[in-house]
C-alpha cells in the first residue's frame, strides 16, 4: 500500500503566485521522519527539509514553508511568490522507525510548472 500520497500530479502557476503541495503519509510507527526533495530536469535530488515525528513545529525557509499536522498525517509544502526556477518535480518521502533510517518511501511526486 502506498505510504506516501501526493495527490497532485501537476500544478501550473504563473510567476509570483503561491503554490501548495500536499503530502499525506501513513505509518504505525511513533518514530518516523518526513522529507521533501526537489528534482529539477537534471535529475539530481535536492534536499529541502527533514522533520521528525516529535517535532510538529512548522518551518519557514525563505520562500519555502512547511505545515506538519500529525492529526491529519499531512506534511504540506508551500512555495510563496513562485519563480520560474521553482519548476521541478517535488517529492515527499517517509522513513519509518529507528531501524529503517535512510530507507525512504517516496510519494509519486508533484510536477510544478511556473510560467513567466
Partner 1 sequence: GAVVSQHPSRVICKSGTSVKIECRSLDFQATTMFWYRQFPKQSLMLMATSNEGSKATYEQGVEKDKFLINHASLTLSTLTVTSAHPEDSSFYICSAARGGHTGELFFGEGSRLTVL
Task: Name the residues that contact partner 1, by CB under 8 A.
Answer: 33, 35, 37, 43-45, 47, 50, 91, 98, 101-109
C-alpha cell at 94: 517517509
Closest CB to partner 1 among residues 109, 114: 109
CB of 10 to partner 1, least distance (A): 10
Closest CB to partner 1 among residues 17, 29: 29
CB of 102 to partner 1, least distance (A): 5
CB of 4 to partner 1, least distance (A): 9
Closest CB to partner 1 among residues 15, 26: 26
Closest CB to partner 1 among residues 2, 83: 2
CB of 112 to partner 1, least distance (A): 14
CA distances to 39, 75, 79, 108 from 87, rounded to whole Å, are 9, 20, 11, 16
Amino acid at each position: 500500500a502506498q505510504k506516501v500520497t501526493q495527490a497532485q500530479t501537476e500544478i501550473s502557476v504563473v510567476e509570483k503566485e503561491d503554490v501548495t503541495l500536499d503530502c499525506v503519509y501513513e505509518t504505525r510507527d511513533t518514530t518516523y521522519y518526513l522529507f521533501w526533495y526537489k528534482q529539477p530536469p537534471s535529475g539530481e535530488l535536492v534536499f529541502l527539509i527533514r522533520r521528525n515525528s516529535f517535532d510538529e513545529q512548522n518551518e519557514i525557509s525563505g520562500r519555502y514553508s512547511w505545515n506538519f499536522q500529525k492529526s491529519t498525517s499531512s506534511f504540506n509544502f508551500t512555495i510563496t511568490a513562485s519563480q520560474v526556477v521553482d519548476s521541478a518535480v517535488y517529492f515527499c518521502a517517509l522513513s519509518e522507525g529507528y531501524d529503517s533510517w535512510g530507507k525512504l518511501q517516496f510519494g509519486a511526486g508533484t510536477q510544478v510548472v511556473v510560467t513567466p
